Chains A and B, each alone.
Chain A
Amino acid sequence: MDLEGASAARAWRRSHLDGVLFGLQRLLRDPFGQMLTLGVIAVALLLPALGLLALERINAAASAWRPSGDLTVFLSAGEPVERALELADSLAGRQEVVATEVRSPDDALAELRRLSDFAEALSALDANPMPALVIVRLSPVGANRIDALKQELAALPSVDWVQVDKRWLERLESLLEAARRAVLLAAAILAIAVLLVVGNTIRLEISEKREEIVTLKLLGASDSFVRRPFLYIGLWYGVVGASLSLLLVWLSLKWLQPALADLAASFGNEVALSGIGAQGAVALLAYGAALGWSGALVASTRHLRRAEPT
């Protein structure tokens, strides 16, 4: 029993080693014949890789730039617009603040009229119920202490309440989320394309080797033994295709870099588009390998069944 286990393990190890070498040889024997398959894999990995990389950078850029969370300071009803102007002046000198803007109660009422269906009802009022307000655009420094600033301003006697306006940020975030989903959806569709292309290549490989497969089965090779070399062919397709796509990622970034540097500079910050990184590269290779292996698994399970001796 022990001996049997040892020889089974030996046969298993050996067939894996043979599989690795056979798969690699197969690819090297005719690398240009495999260009279509490899090209499809490379592009199918390149697009999602670039997409995710871009999203990551945009996210990083957005958070570095998050400054203009705005504050809107509502003065108490009845405070004259002059009080708002005084407040705006005192804020304008502070480093937390980039700009201020004052809206008089009249401005506010006019805007409300324009926007609402209650124009008739509003015109019936004798006194203007709208408060004066100051819109404060914050610098990055201000954005960092937006809550403290809100409290400070709210404590002023002439101030009724302070509203933190993050809507644009939320909008950006939901936009990024939508983009992320789109990239993932594209990645999934491209992954299916890879499975089909690898599967088809393996199918051809199997039909070319049909006689040999039948002979192996007649000599007592198990299904998994017969299948193993084809799985390794798939694995190598994935790995080589992913390596090609790494090269393409690198080239794309190199080409995009100057344009992005200009763009970043115009926002006054350094959003360097660095490479995919060692971790990203390993992840991409592993992803390619897994796709290649899976495509080969599906195809070989299907087609090897039919290669039976007659």
Chain B
Amino acid sequence: MSIRFELVSKRYEGRDALADISFLVDSGEFVFVTGHSGAGKSTLLKLLALIERPTSGIIEVFGERLSKISRRQLARYRRQLGLVFQDHRLLLDRNAFDNVALPLRLDGYPETAILRRVPAALAQVGLGGRESSMPAQLSTGEQQRLGIARAVVCTPRLLLADEPTGNLDPQLAVEIMELFVSLKTQGTTVIVASHDLPLIQKIRRRTIVLEHGRQIDDFRPENAHGS
């Protein structure tokens, strides 16, 4: 078991962004969270990244109750995560290499390992050879892929991606999703928030559907097709 939500609600100024959400996710599972804009997809990821705390309910990640994680333990918890942000959140004063190297450096990887892993991660997202580019020199789509490389570079236990393909053309979007799916081999659990239905239909994975903060569906295409 990787993630457990039990009757989780998040209320902003009297309005529910999420209401009574319950689900389980296995280790190494790939899950889409979808729904219209404002449905609560980002809020769900923020709760998992401990950017927000739920108003009520229980969240467990890798057997640990998130409510028990104090401010001081936050950094250690987040180092097991890979985060892909809607707005990329790149560090604008350092080049592509140093952006991707950052999680490795926070984890204290030796410089030789960093020199090996960073170019490999950049190549995985189609940015091979762009090590010395500054973020401002990259297109929006390339910035998004740089953010993705940074999220996968240190083999996270849990990858949380918020609209990771919003700025990519359909073919590239599929390639990135295939990269995420392949992370299963190293045991990474992946949660992707996306309202890109064609993409979701193409990838055919478990999908949790939200509407106005409520969970209205949780389907597994494989099972539906008996695979």
Which A positions have Cβ atoms within 8 angstroms of B? 6-12, 14-15, 211-212, 214-223, 225, 309-310
Contact = CB atoms under 8 A, between A and B. Distances in A.
Most-contacted residue by chain B among A7, A9, A10, A218 (CB, 10 A): A218
A74 B45 CA distance: 98
Given A217-B75, A218-B83, A11 B105 contact: yes
Contact of B75 (A211, A215, A221, A309): A221
B106 A219 contact: yes
Interface of B: 49, 51, 72, 74-81, 83, 85, 89-93, 102-103, 105-110, 150
A6 B110 CA distance: 10
Most-contacted residue by chain B among A6, A14, A219 (CB, 10 A): A219
A219 B93 CA distance: 16
A310 B106 contact: no
Contacts of B77: 220
B89 A218 contact: yes
A207 to B, nearest CB: 16
Task: Give the 8 A-B residue pairs with the shortest CB-CB distance, closest first.
Answer: A7-B108, A11-B108, A220-B79, A220-B78, A222-B75, A10-B108, A215-B89, A309-B51
Contacts, number: 63
A11 B107 contact: yes
B76 A220 contact: yes
Contacts of A14: 105, 108
A66 to B, nearest CB: 61
Nearest to A14: B105
A5 B101 CA distance: 20
Most-contacted residue by chain A among B49, B74, B106 (CB, 10 A): B106
Contacts of B85: 218
A219 B153 CA distance: 12
11 contacts: A7-B109, A10-B109, A212-B91, A214-B89, A215-B91, A217-B74, A218-B49, A218-B51, A220-B81, A221-B75, A222-B76
Nearest to B76: A220
Given A212-B91, A215-B89, A215-B91, A221 B106 contact: yes
Contact of A223 (B75, B90, B105): B75
Contacts of A222: 75-76
B202 to A, nearest CB: 29
Contacts of B90: 215
B154 to A, nearest CB: 9
A14 B110 CA distance: 10
